[in-house]
Amino acid sequence: MTQDPVNSDTRRPAAFLDRDGILNEDIGYAHRPDQIIWIPGAMEAVKLLNDSGFHVFVVTNQAGVARGYYTEEDVNALHDWMRRRLASFGARIDDFRFSPFHPEFDDGRFSHLAHWRKPAPGMLIDLMKNWPVKTQRSFMIGDRNSDVAAARSAGLSGHLFTGGNLLSAIQRILASVDPN
């Protein structure tokens, strides 16, 4: 659901967020709203990014689809629910991307998305092609080295979140980003 045209003259920096372990606790293959436990400070962090003029994107590997644990529709429904919950807090995710591909469970349905599975940068690059992203000041935050590697491959800074309060982590990142 794109809200800004890609040909906009107003490019803005973007925050690319992994989902599980960043916005919500990583319980393994979450795909329903009743499985979501928000990370402390997650909603406040998204709102701070919104208020600071950043596009906010979620980029998440969802191998549970390839494994047959849930469907792409389940992932989309969960993301719609997350979007509504954040909106009730005054926060906004501009767009979501997910990769259902997993090399060990590839039956051919998702092979065309192999370049989207982190540590590959495909999801980030796709978002940068479809949104007016200013790469300077843009960054990725994730809980795995594959998230940081995806960011670097896309030409962005990557930050590892090891737990705690996401708002505090985002505040530190924003303080270290060149404001120009």
Determine which one of 4, 18, 34, 51 is catalytic.
Answer: 18
Per-residue burial over 11-44, b if 16 or more Cβ lie within 10 Å, else e, is bbbbbbbbbbbbbbbeeeebbeeeebeebebbbb
Is 178 catalytic? The answer is no
Q: What does DSSP say about strands 139-142 and 14-17: parallel, antiparallel, or unpaired?
A: parallel
**Distance between CA atoms of residues 25 and 39, nearest Å:** 6
Is 20 catalytic? The answer is yes
Determine which one of 4, 9, 20, 143 is catalytic.
Answer: 20
Q: What tokens were used for 40?
A: 């402390």
The residues that are catalytic are: 18, 20
